[in-house]
Amino acid sequence: MHTDPDNPAPPTRSAPKAFLGGAGVGALGGLIGLGGAPFLLTLLLFIGHKLEERHLEFFPALSQITGIPAPPSGTLLGTLLYIFAGAWLLVPWLVERRLPFGYYLASTFFFAMGITELAHFVFPFFTGENYGYFPGMASVFFLAPAAWWGLWKMYR
């Protein structure tokens, strides 16, 4: 045990924190280095975006603007929305086999994430208040550019 006040002990290092930090940096580097990186990165950011929307109640906020109630979870319509979004999980498998439907799904995914999600920056104009944060807006800062990267890689 070190008790000399003039010579403090060297800082302790946490092996689990160092491992997790290195694993995170390595995983991100691996995503960027892989050919499927734009899709995987966009998919991960989309999951984060959905969590932000759910946590900050995006659909009730959108319902206030449109006057149309959000479909309750557990209904057929609400379930179908998630099933259709889940079809995007087939993209890597379909594109690997060079199936045209895979490229179609990839295009719809990237366009939806890169263009449609930008509506989060327009919604605040319709709230009747000063322009400010709208649920889901923060994650679009990262999601949209990742999708643009995916479109660029697909069509170059």
User: Per-residue pLDDT averaged across 121-150, rounded?
Assistant: 94
Q: E strand or H helix at 79, and its extent? A: helix 76-86
Query: Count of CB atoms within 10 A of residue 50's CB?
Result: 15
Structural domain span for residue 83: 36-155
- Any idea what the Cα angle at residue 72 is, between residues 69 and 76, rounded to 5°? 115
pLDDT digits (tens, 9 = 90+) for 3-18: 666 666 555 556 666 6
Residue 31 forms part of a structural domain: no
pLDDT-derived band at 135, boundaries 50, 70, 90:
very high
How many angstroms separate the CA atoms of 150 and 46, rounded?
13
Report the pLDDT value the prediction gives residue 150, as an integer from 0 to 100. Answer: 93
Instruction: Say if residue 150 is exposed, middle or buried (CB neighbours under 10 Å; 0-12, 13-18, 19+).
Output: buried
Q: Is 90 exceeded by the pLDDT of residue 142?
A: yes
Count: domains in the chain = 1
Residue 111 forms part of a structural domain: yes
